[in-house]
Amino acid sequence: MAIEIRNVEKTFGAFTALGGVSLDVRSGELLALLGPSGSGKTTLLRIIAGLDHADAGEVSFDGQDTRDRAARDRKVGFVFQHYALFRHMTVFDNVAFGLRVKKKAERPAEMDIRRRVDQLLTMVQLSHLATRYPSQLSGGQRQRVALARALAIEPKVLLLDEPFGALDAKVRKDLRKWLRHLHDDMHITSIFVTHDQEEALELADRVVVMNHGQIIQVGTPAEVYDHPADSFVFDFLGGVNRLNGVIEAGVARLDGKAVRVDGAVGADGPAVIYVRPHQVELGVAPAEGVPEGKWSARVSSLHAAGPVARLELDLAGRALEAQLSRDRLSDLALEVGSWCTVDFRHARVFPAKS
Amino acid sequence: MTAAASTTATKPARRGWAFLAPTILPGFGTAFGFTLAYLCLIVLIPLGHMALRAADVGWDRFWAITLAPRVLHAFYISFGCALAAALINAVFGLVVAWVLVRYRFPGRRLIDAMVDLPFALPTSVAGIALTAIYAPNGWIGALAKAAGFKIAFTPLGIVIALVFVGMPFIVRTVEPVLQDLDAEVEEAAASLGATRWQTFTKVLLPAILPALITGVALAFARGVGEYGSVIFIAGNIPAVSEIVPLLIVARLEQYDYAGATVIATAMMGVSFLMLLGINFLQRWTRSRHAR
């Protein structure tokens, strides 16, 4: 089901949670709402589900306005951040709940309910725990029960609020992959909220980046990562170095040397050059001087655990983080205190905020 | 005993049965000894002594006194009214707790304070106040009289007095559990298609049931033991509105110590059985939660 969101506004007292948000969710896609806390992403999700009401604007499902449809009539599966399982019910009864509360005319026979719940529990790989209570399950298992419960009503839209937020790193990674496979099998229009850029980029078909109640950018993970709309998106989508420079006659300069930048350069004046750590190119320092168009920096610390080495560099008094492979590091033979040349493979420049 | 217990506590962990599982908390001997002595002096010895005194009269007289129609009726009134009051409170106390937890309205703190009033008030004060209102010449009593029935000086009056003293027990036991209930759970039920009523009966009520039963048990126990507020409004007409505690006092005033002791012992026995039953009920509801 496609969802159209038009100029939705929501305030809580003096706080503007959503300031006129418009978004089209395509049928069958897996969409991520990404943003820092307080950016309005959960509020938007709750408005789609009918758990909150927009002050203005409209949300329509397949062209039908949803204003007068209560949460229970929307056929929306909602997975809560803290699962919100019914503690006094077994896993089985939790999953069966949505089927058992249906009106008599629509309610499946008890045998069909049984079959459907068993099917769902098999799908989330929890059939062996059907008679357990939620308190006897681990976080990852509870999450999957919550998902099975939401899927039981055969929702047209699946909404997930920080689905992996309360899980430890290993479980989170596994569940992420699993959810992606599940979505590929079922093709339910799904929207999930996250503040974890890695999660959004890895899992979603499209990413919606939000900040201060506004949508900043919408695009595929590659689009938003490679072509961030502004400095906020660039900053939010991963570790970044911010270097103060200037724009002079349409050229970005750092310490007087020109920096090759992607995209628009902008008007002359003070500017901030954004470089991701893995786009910092290091080289062996020559015996004398600095090669044309490069900078010189000193290694101030070095962390080499795992496949990637992280270096902190001192570039004329500025801290600069760089990432490179362990092999490259040993080729360069860098140590703390040694000098190297610095170049930027890709960089973006945005005007400095006054 | 102190020395023996403390060596148990400090000895390294042994396999098999031990009086006390190894613990790093000190002072078990002293605390346990005190607990035993305290319970003996305050509860066990007085009640045991009373049972012995009751046994002095012999089985035949014991049953004759207990099964006398007036005594039996007093038992019926005492436990029946306490149960009725506890059940009434279960419904209305729950509503009060719900309103106090879920809504923010002007005067909420005042109502919150009023709930505790029956706790703090001497019960005889409550008795006089209630009688003044519910007696046939009181405000509400007059209305009832016009409608053709009496409230004060009947079992109905007793129930009202017991509702009054029992209410805070329900409200105060249910309130924290309601507060703990996540609003998300209700939202989850709604998003799964449940109506408000289904959400209440299938999700909320089961979650607060253990607390509600505890509250009912407390209110019931309080109602059975209540004396001060009841004697004014009950009128104490033998075989109509006479409660067991009053009957015991009446026997004492007639210097019938044996009779008083026998009735007291019977009362203790019934109360004990009731408590046992309630405890089993609680264990049953709790086991269904499997926390």
- What is the model's pTM? 0.74
Cβ pairs bridging A and B (under 8 Å)? 76
Q: Residue A107 carries which DSSP code?
A: P
User: pLDDT (tens digit, 9 = 90+) per residue, A83-101?
Assistant: 889 888 899 999 999 898 8
Look at phi and psi of residue A321 and say left if phi exceeds 0, alpha if psi is from -120 to 50, else beta: beta
pLDDT value at residue B288: 65
Residue of A nearest to B288 (CA): A88
- Give the percent of chain A with pLDDT over 70: 100
pLDDT value at residue B101: 84
What SS3 state is found at A254? strand
CA–CA distance, A54 with A50 (Å, rounded to integer): 9
Residue range B23-27: average pLDDT? Answer: 77
- Whether B204 has a pLDDT exceeding 60, the answer reads yes
User: pLDDT (tens digit, 9 = 90+) per residue, A8-59?
Assistant: 999 888 888 888 889 999 998 999 999 988 888 899 999 998 888 888 888 8
CA–CA distance, B245 with B265 (Å, rounded to integer): 12
pLDDT value at residue B17: 67
| Cβ pair B68, B146 in contact under 8 A | no
Residues of chain A with CATH 3.40.50.300: 3-235
What phi and psi, each to the nearest 5 degrees, are found at residue A175? Answer: -65, -35
| Structure tokens, A315 | 């570039």
| Structure tokens, B123 | 């019960």
**pLDDT tier at B291, thresholds 50, 70, 90:** very low
The number of residues making up chain A comes to 354
pLDDT value at residue A353: 74
Q: Could you tell me which residues of chain B have a Cβ less than 8 Å from any Cβ in chain A?
A: 182, 184-185, 187-195, 198, 202-203, 206-207, 288-291
User: pLDDT (tens digit, 9 = 90+) per residue, A289-341?
Assistant: 777 778 888 899 988 888 888 999 988 888 899 998 888 888 888 888 888 88
CA–CA distance, A238 with A240 (Å, rounded to integer): 6
pLDDT value at residue A192: 92
CATH class of domain segment(s) A3-235:
alpha beta
The predicted complex's ipTM stands at: 0.79
User: pLDDT (tens digit, 9 = 90+) per residue, B66-124?
Assistant: 777 788 888 888 888 888 888 998 898 888 888 888 778 888 888 888 888 888 878 78
Sheet (strand A241-248) strand order: A257-258, A251-254, A241-248, A269-275, A348-351
Is B194 in contact with A72 (Cβ distance < 8 A)? yes
- How many C-beta atoms lie closer than 10 Å to residue B248's C-beta? 21
Q: Which residues from A are below 8 Å from B201, CB to CB?
A: none
CA distance to partner chain A, nearest, from residue B291 (Å)? 6
Closest CA to B87 of B271, B242, B215: B215
User: pLDDT (tens digit, 9 = 90+) per residue, B42-69?
Assistant: 888 888 888 887 777 777 777 877 777 7
Select A242-351's CATH number: 1.20.58.340, 2.115.10.20, 2.60.40.1840, 2.40.50.100: 2.40.50.100
Mean pLDDT of chain B: 79
pLDDT value at residue B3: 45
CA–CA distance, B225 with B81 (Å, rounded to integer): 11
Q: Give Cα separations from A62 to A5, A46, A65 (angstroms).
A: 11, 18, 9
| Structure tokens, A8 | 């939705």
Pick the more confident residue, B47 or A159: A159
Q: For residue B282, what is the enclosing H or E element?
A: helix B257-289
Q: Residue A323 carries which DSSP code?
A: E
Is B202 in contact with A101 (Cβ distance < 8 A)? yes
Residue range A143-171: average pLDDT? Answer: 87
CA–CA distance, A38 with A18 (Å, rounded to integer): 10
Mean pLDDT of chain A: 87
What SS3 state is found at A216? strand
Tell me which of A199-203, A305-309, B11-15 is least confident.
Answer: B11-15
Q: Which residues from A are below 8 Å from B182, CB to CB?
A: 82, 84
- Whether B4 has a pLDDT exceeding 60, the answer reads no
Is B203 in contact with A76 (Cβ distance < 8 A)? no
Pick the more confident residue, A270 or B247: A270
Residue of A nearest to B286 (CA): A88
**pLDDT tier at B1, thresholds 50, 70, 90:** very low
| Cβ pair B113, B163 in contact under 8 A | no
Is A80 in contact with B203 (Cβ distance < 8 A)? no
Residue range B14-29: average pLDDT? Answer: 72
**pLDDT tier at B152, thresholds 50, 70, 90:** low
**pLDDT tier at B289, thresholds 50, 70, 90:** low
- Whether B40 has a pLDDT exceeding 90, the answer reads no
CA–CA distance, B9 with B19 (Å, rounded to integer): 9
| Cβ pair A261, A350 in contact under 8 A | no
Strand-strand pairing, A308-315 and A76-79: unpaired
| Cβ pair B256, B168 in contact under 8 A | no
Of residues A72, A84, A88, nearest to B182 (C-beta): A84
Pick the more confident residue, B141 or A272: A272
pLDDT value at residue A91: 93
Q: Is A60 exposed, middle or buried (0-12, 13-18, 19+ CB in 10 A)?
A: middle
What SS3 state is found at A295? strand
Residues of chain A with CATH 2.40.50.100: 242-351
